[in-house]
Structure formats: C-alpha cells, structure tokens
Structure 1
Amino acid sequence: MTTISSTTILRSRNAAAPDKVLSTLLLRYPRCIHAEFMTHRVFSRNAASSRAIPVEKLIKDVEENPFIPVYWGANQRGMQAGDEIDAPLYLQGASHFDMIDRCYDPISKEAGWLHARDQAISAARAFAKAGYHKQIVNRLLEPFAHITVLVSGTEWDNFLELRDHEAAEPHIQILAREVRKCLEREDDIQDLEPGEWHLPFVDEKVMEVRPRARGGIHTSDAIKLSVARCASTSYKTVDGFDMTLDKAVELHDRLVGSTPIHASPAEHVAQADGVSRWETYDGEGSDTPIWENKREHGNFIGFRQYRHML
C-alpha cells in the first residue's frame, strides 16, 4: 500500500519574532513525486539515497509496501489526469491466454501494476547476482519505492498553496495535507530566545558549561550530534537516529572537514537570530524585523543556519 506521512521532529519559535517558526519534519512519500517536492527551494532537505540502500532491503520494502497509485485517472491532454477509470488490462505474462478468443484474460489495474513490480524485482535480483552495484540495480525498483526525507523550513505557505490544491498531482496533495496537520499544531513548539539552538534529534539536556558527567552535553557537542543524526537520513531508516556522541562527532568532522564539504545536514541545525531594529515601510503594514545576522539565514527567516556559520 502507498505510504504518505509527515512526522514532526522539532519545531522552534523565535521569541524575538513569534511569527517565525522553524519546523523540521520527517516525510515519507512515493519516490515518483520527489522531483516535484524538490522544486520548493525554501526548504533544507536530506533524503534517503537509493545508492546507499542494500538491494535486498529495498526489494523487501517494495514487496511489503509498494507504491500503488491512489488515483487511476483517464488519459487526456495536459498534465492532469481525467476522471478515474477501472479499465481492465490485457497483459502478456500476467494472465492466462484464452485459446478460444485468442487473447489474454483481463486483469485489474492493481494486478497489472504489481506484475510490473514483480518483473522489476526479478530483473534487479538478476543484475545483483551478476555483480552490479546497488547504485545501478536499485534504479529498477524506484518506480515502486517510497523515500524518506528530512525537511526543515520557516516558509511553508507557497508549498501548501500549490500542493494542497485540486490541480496538484494527487499524491503530493496528500503529502501537503499531512504536512499541514503538523504545521497547524501549536502545542509542540518550543520557544527559543536569540542565541538558543534548534537541534533536531537531540533529546539530551544541553549545557553551556557543566561537563557531560553532570547530566548534560556541551552545546558544541549537541550541534555535532544533531548534524550527524540529520545526515543519517541519507543512509539509515528512522530507527537509525540513535548514534552515539562519539560516532556523531566523528561523522560531523568528516562531513564538514571534507573537500568538497558535505554540509547539507548542517542546514537543519539553526540558532534563533536577534532583531537589531524594526522598520515600517511606507507607513503601511506590520513592522519588519531587521535581523542581526541575515546573511547567515540561508533559506530560513529568523534563524541562522549552522551551515552558514561554519
């Protein structure tokens, strides 16, 4: 069955400008709509990579939870399908050949889709057995696979307006509605004073001075732990975010110390920025904050991305 979900990882409000909320969500959706999601450039993202997932693990996923369309629209001109239809398929190799009518027996659209999946699995196993790398083999499985994506952003309105809309592709409509549910909640938002940190996947108590042995970890270590756990989205499943601090520090230093730098996981970690002053333009509308460190916001507003502070 098709899985489309949005789970809140962490949401933080900048107390200096309460309308600015940074939300980090963990999304799961059919891989076929990933390109559409990627067009929204206001988001920071890390996605599970087909190049990193073992072939048999991805096969198990598409066997147990394949992407199956939720809307079977009729062909027509343009990007949007017509009304749903339930036309049978006459598919060689998927049904019995009727010797009297000299044609294959009809099968349902769902059965035809799963037959195509089974053919892709068979081909993938053959390529893997022949010694081809998973970065090649797994491409055969992608049409039937889901993808896990960690996304952070402060500006969601355009995404919701475009994608939670009847003209949008049906599966990304469902995703947008799941995201909206997360963003409409107010009871799971933490308030951050300027200088405090948004640290996804860090539940440990963060200390500025006290040593780790007294019940917390230093802010610098907490930042590295958060970056490393965000990075693990690319090659682990959701239950892989429990890496130890020592491993996290090693991974963080390898990512940000490499040439070229691999800094996209550092975009999810951010510090609430301060407001230097407020301005009103043309005497109309609400006051606009002038941020102390706007150049370090990246694609956020009101938060300094750790990536731009490196």
Structure 2
Amino acid sequence: MIKATIIADSISAYTNQRITTFELEYPRFILAELNTHRAFSRNSASSRAIPIDKMIEQIQTNTAMPIHWGLNQSGMQAKDEQANSTLAINAWLEARDSAIKHALKLKELGLHKQIVNRVLEPFCMMKTLVTATNYDNFFYLRLHKDAQPEIQQLARVMYEAMKESKPVKLYQGQWHTPYYGNGYWNLHSDDDLETALMISCSCSAQVSYRKTDASIDKAKAIYDKLVNSQPVHASAFEHCATPIDDPLDDDGYFKQGIICYSDYGNYYSGNFVNWIQYRQLIPNHDYKADNYV
C-alpha cells in the first residue's frame, strides 16, 4: 500500500515559506523517479543494511507490485489494462518467489547482504523520509495523467496530506524537527536545542536501517557516529531547519548557512528556500579536497 505520513509541518513567520517532512512508503521500483527531484532532502531504507532474512520476510508479507497492469503499446504510457489482472499478479508473485530462491542460493555462498538483497529489490516496498520547502513542481509533474501510476498515487496521497495538514508557524530561533516533540522545537520544549536536533537527526538516519528509537542515549550514539565519521554522513542533518528572518549578520554578510540569494527575493540554504538547513551548519558536511583517499 502506498502511504504518505506527515512527520513535521512548519511555516515561516517571516516569508510564509512552508517546510514539510513526509515519511513515505511506496514500491522501490519508482525510487529512481522520486530521486530525480533535486529540491528534496531524503533518507531511504538501505538494501545494504537490512539483513537478508528480514528482507525476504518483508517482500513475502508486503510485496511491491504495480497498481495498474497496463497492456503493451508504443510510448512510455500504458493506457489500457489487462482484463485478467489475476494472471498478471500470479506471474509477478512467481517472479518474486524465484528471486527469493536465488537470493537464498547466494546467501548459502556466503555473499554479503549488499549483493544478495539486490535480486529482491524489484519486490520491495521502500521507506523514505522526504523534506522540502517546495513541492509544487513535484505535484505538477507527478499528478499528471502521463505519470507512472505508482508515483502518481504517491503524489496524490502526499498532496491530500498537505491539504489536510495545518503547518505550525515558527519564528527566529525555533526549529523544524521531524520525530522530535510535535515536529518543532522552541524554548518551551522539554529538551535543549542540541538534544532536540540530536534526536531528530538520529531518527532521520534510522529510517535507512532500523525501527526508530528516539531515546536520548540512542540519539547521542547515532549522532556522534554520523558527525564524527570520515566522511561525515550528513544527509540525516538535512531535515531540520530554522526560518530565515534577517539574512545578514552584524557585518553585513550572509548568516551562517545561507549560501545565495535569488532574483525572486529568496534566500537559499542547501536545497531549502528561506529556511536555514541544519546540514549547512555542520563542519565538513561537504568535503572539498584534491585527495579523496
């Protein structure tokens, strides 16, 4: 089943720029289409991290399959549908069972899950955390009648979720924090900002390989591992953000985290508009050197 759950939804008190974080579940075979949208920050479940037996269990209990069994024709769209979808579904499930059989053979050879799980991927449901300050182009492209049915359905449930959600207005010094509190941090929150960011970033990272553990001890362990690794594993820091009020510091320069200004009057921080992305404040989040080893 294709799902979209809003984890955090905020709006800037200064620009009315909205930032929304989704937890998505969808067939892995449309992951490449989702990844073409560069405005998105994302973390996804990793085939390299999920144990082989767990991966097999997942595709047996929740098999990813098409939602429209379109008949072959020229072009990229399949308009007419197979009249007997049961035959198509049965053939798909036979292919899944064959993939499981060959995955187990590879496992018996002692091969690592980063290899074995690849033959199972066409039948996997994918879990992805997505944060963005603008979804307009995504909806324009993926709600179109020519979009692949599965990503069209994903866009539809995301669009409906955004219509029903009321974003929280945030001010200077307050933070959009998925998985922490009610999705935001302010001075009245139970924890200090550092702890809130650790919990949020840790849970964002955990989407790639485990059930979410929001405890402070687990958050600190994962956060330290992410920020102190070489290279820094920085993608999980992209989902937290704070609204831009005055973009300039006392010396007239852009505040830390703001990287450019557009002709449309917007300030950018990474791929975010009018919000400072936490990743942009992390040292060495974007490695620059002549030597890579």
TM interval, shorter chain, is 0.7 to 0.9
Q: 1:276 to 1:64 in 2, by over 3 A?
A: closer
Question: Which residue of structure 2 aligns with residue 91 of structure 1?
Answer: none
Report the secondary structure of 1:294's partner residue: coil
- For structure 1, the 5+ residue unaligned runs are 89-106, 278-290
Offset, 1:297: 1.5
Query: How far off its partner does 1:247 sit?
Result: 2.1
Contact residue 231 and residue 265 of structure 1 kept, 8 A: yes
Match in the other structure for 1:98:
none
Structure-2 residue corresponding to 1:29: 26
- Give the C-alpha shift of residue 129 in structure 1: 2.1
**Please, which of 154, 171, 195 is the counterpart of residue 221 of structure 1?**
195
Correspondence for 1:121: 100
Q: Kindly provide the amino acid, as one letter, of the partner of residue 215 in structure 2.
A: T
The equivalent residue for 1:199 is 177
Question: Does the CA contact (< 8 Å) of 1:207 and 1:217 recur in 2?
Answer: no
Contact 1:150-1:230 within 8 A present in 2 as well: yes
Establish whether residue 159 from structure 1 lines up as the match of residue 135 from structure 2.
no
Question: Which 4+ runs in 1 deviate beyond 4 A?
Answer: 204-208
**What is the match of residue 78 of structure 1?**
75
In the alignment, structure 1 residue 10 sits paired with structure 2 residue 8: yes
* Structure number with larger C-alpha Rg: 1
Structure 2: gaps spanning 5 or more residues: 249-253, 260-267, 283-293
**Is this contact kept in 2: 1:163–1:172, CA < 8 A?**
yes
Count of aligned residue pairs for this structure pair: 267
Residue 243 of structure 1: how far off its partner (Å):
3.2
| 2:289 equivalent in structure 1 | none
TM-score (norm 1): 0.81
Q: Please list, as runs of the form range in 1=range in 2, the aligned pairs for 1:29-68 lying within 5 A after superposition.
A: 29-68=26-65
Q: CA offsets, 1:222-280, max 9 Å, x none?
A: 111111110001101xxx22332122112112211222111000000111111459xxx
One-letter identity of the residue aligned with 1:201: Y
- Counterpart CA distance in 2 for 1:81 and 1:206 is 46
- Change in CA separation of 1:203 and 1:77 when aligned onto 2, cut-off 3 Å: same
Identity of aligned residues (%): 40
Opposite residue 249 of structure 1, the aligned amino acid is K
The answer as to whether partners of 1:207 and 1:216 remain within 8 angstroms in 2 is: no
Match of 1:170 in 2: 149
| Cα distance in 2 between the residues matched to 1:142 and 1:123 | 13
Residue in 2 that maps onto 1:253:
224
